[in-house]
Chains A and B, each alone.
Chain A
Amino acid sequence: EDQVTQSPEALRLQEGESSSLNCSYTVSGLRGLFWYRQDPGKGPEFLFTLYSAGEEKEKERLKATLTKKESFLHITAPKPEDSATYLCAVPFITQGGSEKLVFGKGTKLTVNP
């Protein structure tokens, strides 16, 4: 069954301590992958779209990369305001031919000052 798996579930970093979040997926013919940030009590906020393996996108301290099997969200020198849950999502075509966006469970990032 197609699925999206994110790891770790939770990550605690000290301010300035760089790290990476992982999103792996099982889908034939990946057409794209989305990264979202979600703050408590709010809806997901769009960060990046990656369309093909080898693609990279950056925004401030965040850089998203994509391979054929997984995506990484690299966080360089994080600050406390980067604390949030980071979600990845992949479009799937179901066996019935319909399409939907499938989200991972997210990685809850906490950056301590």
Chain B
Amino acid sequence: GAVVSQHPSRVICKSGTSVKIECRSLDFQATTMFWYRQFPKQSLMLMATSNEGSKATYEQGVEKDKFLINHASLTLSTLTVTSAHPEDSSFYICSARQGDIQYFGAGTRLSVL
């Protein structure tokens, strides 16, 4: 299957700092990427759909000014968690769409102290 790389895999930061997560499709071009969040023992929750060359589409309840998404090329989308707080600690996973299938990055575990 297609390969999606997500970096970093683990971040520990202080409250109030911003954290940037990168998601790359390595062997295909993805006009659409997705950002999910997953809390322990919970299901995946879609945060936003990232569209190359246009604004991201955010799900209800997700603050677009807090979770900044940039999809500047067909192989790269970034998620920046601005002014992170302890309640933002979670597992963030990106995926890239190829046809009807989504291929996932390995996820970023964010811990905000």
Genuine A/B complex: no
A residues neighboring B (CB under 8 Å): none
B residues neighboring A (CB under 8 Å): none
